[in-house]
């Protein structure tokens, strides 16, 4: 089947099989591999994207459900060569090891800070409880969120 | 002139003899107190922007033009023979291009000859039966159901203790014990030792099967360029994959190129080529198109390796002053259906403490379960659980402070190989860690179990002993561009540890360039050889080679500058990217001004890893301290704080050092309290097929971790004075947590993971 989605501001069309997920559409068909496939079970957050502004696990959404809608991915956060402040904070805080989980975390953190520019630690933990990282032990990820919040100075990203 | 020497090299708890090529003299070790510009500073990931930006291409992200997708049919039985297999329906399914099985594939030996790429005898739920290749991944997976297989189920054995009973179903014709017999070690006389003991502690300790669960699953993408095979593989060893695949396909090594520029975690689970790697290559050769096989998370749970469960018994005896007089150790490692090497469970018990009488016996037992793999300090995590819990139980029995007891039995030399250590700053690690946690706050362990009342706090600790010396061979190349930027090439892989960044720092230091002017490329077998990224050996193997390569380039720079400046080379200095006459800083030129005059790559250097020093044992050391709160009513354990202090030689990058500590500690915490890979004892089926049923630690439950480093260079280990930090931090964590729980409640849970139910049961049993 044919689906048409607006990805990071540009309309894209692709042919997918009826059961394909939004994640398969982005990765296999559109070549946007920043969103990772680490479980396809909705359990790890590596595939986090926005669908009409709402944070979703792209592996749990059918491509067909996204037809005619607006999708924003981790690739959409970077302007040219410039990383988003949250992405920069992850690098600066040392929150990136293998980095396979990082795009998913970055999207979740951007989403959190857009709703709560100055989250306290329990709130950060709660917001990131759906994201798994096997490398970092999460300490530096917490540092990255605090660093990003202070960089953004409470202003909505 | 290159010459070959024989060396005893330690790797992952085992000592082996190896031929090492010596090409010349190594550089002298950078001594303690050496002043650095880049080394020792918290440089952030040189490839951080790609990883955080989502532009890094991992193997799983590779979709070359015309790529086809493979899916693997796996055995539903723990032990069965394939009587008949029909693929015609699957072959006719929409989108399907090829089905491979034992019927149309060469009998390529696999698992060291214990099996074949497609065996007709299947030995675990998940063993490979067939491969479907189709236009898309979903079509390939759907077609798996259309393959008709008649299985003849055979008797199976899941439990390792059952597997060693006479008459148990056999996993392999050679029997269920790897090598046909237990591995034994002894020194002194253990029976006599126990006779001299004033206190004896005996513990039964079990640790669970634990899964690596790297966030990037196992995967390979293969295609042919003429008669050359190109493979992208999520691997810890590109050169190993090249060797294995070339042998399997019987093609020359120079016709295989393996790449892994970005890799999403391994932890020991990706040390070898998988069957899927060879299958992708075979299918691509038949179809003339790229083939991609990437595991699902369920396959990762079933068939991608595991830390094998252990059953251990340890007995330790000491005099009333705490002096150890005997250690008797027995352990079983359940290595699954296929494994070529045993698990070094007895490593800690035989070496960590000064003790004249030690006996150890380890059995590596095959069962009809998924194959074991190395997992971050294989054997030593499990073995430390047994030894360090016993040591702390002994301290409690003798009413000696557990740290004091450890210090009284400090091993000054390697008693197993009978030689000195290259360096051992464990006392320093103990002292720094104890200070940071406030060890003096530790209350005496309650004499009787605490069954009710409010949550109680406890403090516990454990010691880490591991290799991590690295060794030859490893090679690197450095070359300079006309604009003064440098390129480093090395055929290692960055599995997430930060290898690329640390090696870049070393080259930048020697060339006196900022990190941003050095580009290091890795993950390609076209680059100089480097070893497997495991055994905490990458930095200590590759780093010295990079230093030497950069040093050769530096010498060439100085020679070239000397002739331009018309002075002797001894009178030329290189500082801050500038070459100048000693004492006359204005008489000089920038590196770029020099290289700009002489062209591309005219200044270059090659470096090799020198041999390890003779006659010494090189070890990493560390101590961890845990503070927990346990609710005696519910049995719930909350870890409040972990302090980790390790001696891993000189620290190249403190930020990355901390990251390694944090990650290792949290994996250890997972194993201590929650993680358990469960195989149904009746059916052999894996019950946790993903993150829904397997408790990888999440951000919600993690404690504060204080990561400290002794940070003293090893004076002789290698020219950098470094050792590895990949594995050390996971080793003592579960034991430290278990000891803290015991200190809180006055009862000891020695069955990991320490679940609330086990805590309650332990309290109840003593009632
Ligand atoms: S891949 Fe979607 S949640 Fe894990
Ligand atoms: S950095 Fe490797 S999984 Fe998070």
Q: Flag whether B25 is in a domain.
A: yes
CA distance B241 to B231: 9
Confidence of residue B64 (pLDDT cuts 50, 70, 90): very high
**Same domain assignment for residues B709 and B732:** yes
Query: pLDDT tens-digit profile of B325-382?
Result: 999 999 999 999 999 999 999 999 999 999 999 999 999 999 999 999 999 999 999 9
Q: Counting atoms of ligand 2 from 1, which one is nearest the CA of A105?
A: 4
B37: in domain = yes
Q: Do A2-73 and A85-152 show the same overall fold?
A: no
B577 and B627: one domain? no
pLDDT of residue A154: 58
Give pLDDT, residue A155. Answer: 46
The token duo for B5 is 């020497």
Does the residue B160 lie in any domain? Answer: no
pLDDT beyond 90 at B203: yes
Which of chain B's residues have a Cβ under 8 Å away from the Cβ of A135?
215, 265, 496, 659, 663
Q: How much is the average pLDDT of A31-47?
A: 97
Contact B601, B726 (CB under 8 A): no
Strands (E), B395-438: 413-414, 419-420
Ligand index nearest the alpha carbon of residue A59: 1
> What does the alpha-carbon distance between residue A123 and residue B103 come to, in Å, rounded to a whole number?
57
Which candidate in B47, B48, B54, B653 is best for mutational testing of the A interface (most A CBs within 10 A)?
B54
Q: Examine the pLDDT at A87 and tell me if it is beyond 70.
A: yes
Domain that holds residue B519: 3-55+470-608
A94 in contact with B, Cβ within 8 Å:
yes
A85 lines ligand 1 (CB under 6 A): no
Q: B11 with B91, same domain?
A: no
Contact list in B for residue A107 (CB cut-off 8 A) is none
pLDDT band at B22 (very low <50, low <70, confident <90, very high): confident
Closest by Cβ to A137, choosing from B45, B47, B666: B666
Q: Is residue B641 less than 8 Å (CB to CB) from chain A? A: no
B176 at the A interface (CB within 8 A)?
A: no
> For residue A66, what are its two tokens?
């996204």
Nearest atom, ligand 1, residue A132 CA: 4
The size of chain A, in residues, is 157
Nearest by CB to residue B498, choosing from A75, A83, A97, is A97
Q: Residue B205: inside a domain, yes or no? A: no
pLDDT at B600: 84
- DSSP category for residue B308: P
pLDDT at A157: 42
Q: Which residues of A touch B212 (CB under 8 A)?
A: 134
Judgement on whether residues B428 and B446 belong to the same structural domain of the protein: yes
What is the distance of C-alpha B443 from the center of its chain?
35
Supply B204's token pair.
């039964």
pTM of the model: 0.97
Which residues from chain B sit within 8 angstroms of residue A40, using beta carbons?
A: 296-297
In a domain? residue B498: yes
Q: Which pLDDT tens digit goes with each residue over B593-644? A: 999 998 888 899 999 999 999 999 999 999 999 999 999 999 999 999 999 9
Residue of B45, B60, B663 with shortest CB distance to A137: B663
Whether B356 and B386 map to the same domain: the answer is yes
Phi, then psi, of A150 in degrees rounded to 5: -75, -35
Shared-domain flag, residues B105 and B39:
no
> Cis peptide leading into B19, omega within 30 of 0?
no
Place of tokens 């999708």: A71
3-state class of B22 per DSSP?
Answer: strand
Do B223 and B89 fall into the same domain? yes
Pocket of ligand 2 (CB under 6 A): A 97-102, 133-136; B 215, 265, 496
The residue contributing the CA closest to ligand 2 atom 3 is A133
What's the pLDDT score for residue B766? 46
**Mean per-residue pLDDT for B551-561?**
97
One domain, residues B432 and B483 = no
Does residue A156 carry a pLDDT above 50?
A: no
| Mean pLDDT, chain B, whole residue set | 97
N- to C-terminal Cα distance for chain A?
A: 35
Burial class of residue B596 (count of CB atoms within 10 Å of its CB; 0-12, 13-18, 19+): middle
Determine, yes or no, domain membership for B491.
yes
What percent of chain B is predicted at pLDDT more than 90? 95
Residue that terminates a domain, selected from B294, B325, B352: B294
For B257-275, the pLDDT digits (tens) are 999 999 999 999 999 999 9
Given B241, B266, B294, the domain boundary residue is: B294
pLDDT, tens only, A40-81: 999 999 999 999 999 999 999 999 999 999 999 999 999 888
Per the structure, the count of domains in chain B is: 3
Mean pLDDT score, B724-733 = 98
Q: Where are the domains of chain A?
A: 2-73, 85-152
What pLDDT score was predicted for residue A91? 98
- At which residue do the structure tokens 């409010």 appear? B454
Residue identified by tokens 């990190």 is B515
Active site residues of B: 727
B629 and B510 share one domain: no
In this structure, the residue with its CA closest to atom 3 of ligand 1 is A42
Provide the number of CB pairs (under 8 Å) joining chain A to chain B.
Answer: 187
What does the DSSP assignment read for B224-246? EETTEEEEEE--S-HHHHHHHHH
| Residue A34 at interface with chain B, using a CB cutoff of 8 Å | yes
The bridge status of strand B572-575 relative to strand B578-581 is: antiparallel
CATH code of residue B41: 3.30.365.10
Kindly list the distances between the CA atom of residue B553 and the CA atoms of A76, B487, B607, B715, in Å, as whole numbers in the listed order: 41, 11, 10, 25
Dist. CA B531–CA B9, nearest whole Å: 13
Q: Average of pLDDT values for A16-28?
A: 94
Rounded to a whole number, what is the distance in Å from the CA of B131 to chain A's nearest CA? 20
Which residues are CB-contacts of B118 (< 8 A; sequence separation ≥ 6)?
B100, B101, B102, B105, B128, B129, B130
Q: Which atom of ligand 2 is nearest to the CA of B496?
A: 2
**In which residue are the tokens 């899916």 written?**
B71
Within an 8 Å CB–CB cutoff, is residue A73 touching chain B?
Answer: yes
Nearest-atom number in ligand 1 for the CA of A58 is: 2
B676-683 contacts, C-beta under 8 A, 24 or more apart: B676/B208, B676/B209, B676/B210, B676/B753, B677/B208, B677/B209, B677/B210, B677/B211, B677/B301, B677/B306, B678/B209, B679/B125, B679/B158, B679/B209, B679/B369, B679/B370, B680/B158, B681/B158, B681/B159, B683/B78, B683/B125
Question: Hey, what are B218's tokens?
Answer: 């196992």
Q: What CATH architecture applies to the domain A2-73?
A: Roll (3.10)
CA distance B119 to B528: 36
Q: Which of residues 115-144 of A touch B (CB under 8 A)?
A: 124-126, 128-129, 131-142
Q: Is the CB of A103 under 6 A from ligand 1?
A: no
Residue B581 CA: distances (Å) to CA of B567, B586, B655? 8, 8, 36
Shared domain check, B598 and B657: no
Same domain, B116 and B225: yes
The number of C-alpha atoms within 13 Å of B101 and in the hemisphere containing its C-beta is 23
Contact B674, B114 (CB under 8 A): no
Same domain, B620 and B594: no
Q: Is the pLDDT of residue B11 over 90?
A: no
* B460 vs B50: CA distance, rounded Å: 41
| Three-class SS state of A6 | strand
Pick the CATH number of A85-152 from 1.10.3720.10, 1.10.150.120, 3.40.1410.10, 3.40.50.300: 1.10.150.120
Token representation of residue B571: 């009178």
Mutation choice for B interface testing from A98, A107, A108 by most B CBs within 10 A: A98
Handedness of CA B185, B10, B406, B735 (dihedral sign): negative
* Residue B573, domain member (yes or no): yes
pLDDT digits (tens, 9 = 90+) for B432-488: 999 999 999 999 999 999 999 999 999 999 999 999 999 999 999 999 999 999 999
User: Last residue of a domain, which of B608, B638, B658?
Assistant: B608
B216, B296, B697 member nearest A100 (Cβ): B216
In a domain, B676, yes or no: yes
Q: How far is the CA of A22 from the centre of ligand 1 (A)?
A: 11
Identify any residues that bridge with A81 across adjacent strands, giving them in sequence order: none
Q: What is the DSSP letter of B668?
A: H
Chain A hits for B260, CB-CB cut-off 8 Å, are none
Cα gap B389→B370, rounded to integer Å: 29
- Find the closest chain B residue to A76 by CA distance: B53
| Residue B612, pLDDT score | 94
Using a CB-CB cut-off of 8 Å, the residues of chain A touching B235 are none
Residue B465's nearest CA partner among B432, B433, B520, B421 is: B421
Number of Cβ within a 10 Å radius of residue B659: 27
Cα A21 versus chain centre, distance: 16
């Amino acid at each position: 089947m044919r689906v048409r989605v607006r990805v990071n501001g540009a309309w894209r069309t692709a042919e997918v099989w009826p059961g394909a997920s939004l994640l398969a559409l982005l990765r296999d068909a559109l070549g946007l591999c920043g969103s990772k496939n680490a479980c396809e079970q909705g359990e790890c957050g590596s595939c986090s994207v926005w669908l009409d502004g709402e944070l979703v696990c792209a592996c749990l959404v059918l491509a067909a459900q996204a037809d005619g809608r607006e999708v924003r991915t981790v690739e959409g956060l970077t302007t040219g060569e410039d990383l988003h402040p949250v992405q920069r904070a992850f690098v600066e805080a040392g929150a990136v090891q293998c980095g396979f989980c990082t795009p998913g975390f970055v999207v979740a953190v951007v989403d959190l800070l857009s709703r709560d520019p100055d989250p306290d630690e329990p709130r950060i933990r709660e917001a990131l409880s759906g994201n798994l990282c096997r490398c970092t032990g999460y300490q530096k990820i917490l540092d990255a969120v605090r660093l990003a919040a202070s960089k953004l100075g409470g202003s909505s990203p | 002139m290159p010459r070959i020497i024989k060396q005893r090299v330690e790797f992952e708890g085992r000592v082996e003899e190896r031929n090492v090529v010596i090409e010349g003299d190594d550089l002298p070790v950078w001594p303690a107190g050496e002043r650095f510009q880049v080394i020792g500073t918290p440089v952030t990931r040189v490839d951080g922007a790609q990883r955080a930006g989502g532009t890094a291409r991992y193997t799983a992200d590779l979709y070359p033009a015309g790529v086809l997708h493979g899916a693997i049919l796996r055995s539903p039985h723990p032990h069965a023979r394939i009587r008949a297999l029909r693929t015609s329906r699957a072959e006719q399914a929409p989108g399907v291009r090829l089905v491979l099985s034992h019927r149309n594939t060469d009998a390529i030996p696999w698992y060291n000859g214990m099996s074949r790429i497609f065996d007709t005898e299947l030995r675990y739920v998940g063993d490979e039966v067939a491969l479907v290749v189709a236009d898309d991944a979903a079509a390939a997976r759907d077609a798996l159901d259309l393959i008709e297989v008649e299985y003849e189920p055979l008797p199976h054995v899941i439990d390792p203790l059952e597997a060693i009973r006479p008459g148990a179903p056999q996993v392999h014709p050679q029997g269920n014990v790897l090598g046909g017999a237990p591995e034994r070690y002894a020194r002194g006389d253990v029976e006599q030792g126990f006779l001299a003991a004033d206190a004896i502690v005996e513990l039964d300790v079990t640790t669970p099967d634990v899964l690596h669960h790297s966030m990037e699953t196992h995967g390979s993408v293969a295609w042919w360029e003429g008669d050359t095979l190109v493979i992208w593989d999520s691997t810890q060893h590109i050169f190993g994959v090249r060797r294995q695949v070339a042998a399997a396909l019987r093609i020359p090594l120079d016709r295989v190129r393996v790449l892994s520029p970005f890799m999403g975690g391994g932890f020991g689970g990706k040390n070898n080529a998988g069957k899927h790697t060879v299958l992708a290559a075979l299918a691509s050769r038949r179809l003339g198109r790229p083939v991609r096989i990437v595991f699902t998370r369920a396959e990762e749970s079933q068939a991608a390796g595991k830390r094998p469960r252990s059953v251990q018994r340890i007995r330790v005896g000491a005099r009333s002053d705490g002096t150890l007089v005997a250690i008797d150790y027995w352990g079983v490692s359940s290595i699954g259906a296929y494994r070529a090497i045993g698990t070094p469970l007895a490593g800690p018990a035989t070496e960590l403490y000064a003790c004249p009488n030690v006996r150890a016996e380890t059995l590596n037992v095959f069962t009809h379960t998924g194959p074991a793999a190395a997992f971050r300090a294989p054997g030593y995590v499990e073995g430390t659980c047994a030894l360090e819990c016993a040591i702390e139980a002994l301290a409690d029995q003798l009413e000696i402070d557990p740290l004091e007891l450890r210090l009284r039995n400090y091993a000054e030399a390697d008693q197993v190989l009978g030689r000195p250590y290259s360096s051992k700053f464990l006392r320093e690690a103990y002292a720094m860690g104890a200070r940071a946690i406030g060890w003096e706050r530790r209350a005496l362990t309650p004499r009787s179990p605490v069954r009710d009342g409010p949550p109680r706090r406890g403090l516990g600790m454990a010691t880490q002993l591991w290799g991590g010396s690295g060794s030859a061979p490893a090679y690197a190349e450095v070359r300079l561009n006309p604009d003064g930027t440098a390129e480093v090439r090395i055929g290692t892989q960055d599995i997430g540890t930060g290898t690329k960044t640390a090696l870049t720092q070393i080259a930048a230091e020697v060339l006196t360039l900022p990190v941003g002017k050095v580009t290091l490329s890795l993950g390609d077998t076209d680059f100089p050889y480097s070893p497997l990224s495991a055994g905490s050996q990458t930095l200590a193997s590759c780093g010295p080679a990079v230093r030497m390569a950069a040093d050769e380039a530096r010498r060439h720079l100085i020679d070239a500058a000397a002739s331009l400046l018309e002075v002797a080379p001894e009178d030329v200095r290189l500082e801050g990217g500038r070459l100048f006459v000693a004492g006359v800083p204005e008489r000089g030129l920038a590196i770029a001004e020099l290289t700009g005059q002489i062209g591309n790559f005219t200044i270059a250097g090659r470096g090799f890893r020198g041999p390890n020093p003779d006659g010494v044992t090189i070890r990493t050391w560390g101590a961890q301290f845990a503070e927990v709160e346990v609710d005696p009513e519910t049995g719930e354990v909350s870890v409040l704080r972990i302090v980790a202090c390790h001696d891993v030689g000189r620290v190249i990058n403190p930020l990355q050092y901390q990251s390694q500590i944090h990650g290792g500690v949290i994996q250890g915490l997972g194993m201590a309290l929650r993680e358990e890979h469960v195989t149904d004892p009746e059916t052999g089926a894996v019950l946790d097929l993903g993150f829904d049923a397997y408790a990888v630690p999440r951000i919600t439950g993690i404690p504060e971790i204080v990561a400290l480093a002794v940070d003293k260079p090893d004076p002789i280990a290698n020219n950098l004075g470094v050792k590895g930090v990949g594995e050390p931090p996971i080793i003592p964590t579960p034991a430290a947590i278990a000891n803290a729980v015991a200190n809180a409640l006055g009862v000891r849970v020695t069955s990991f993971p320490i679940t609330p139910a086990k805590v309650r049961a332990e309290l109840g049993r003593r009632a």
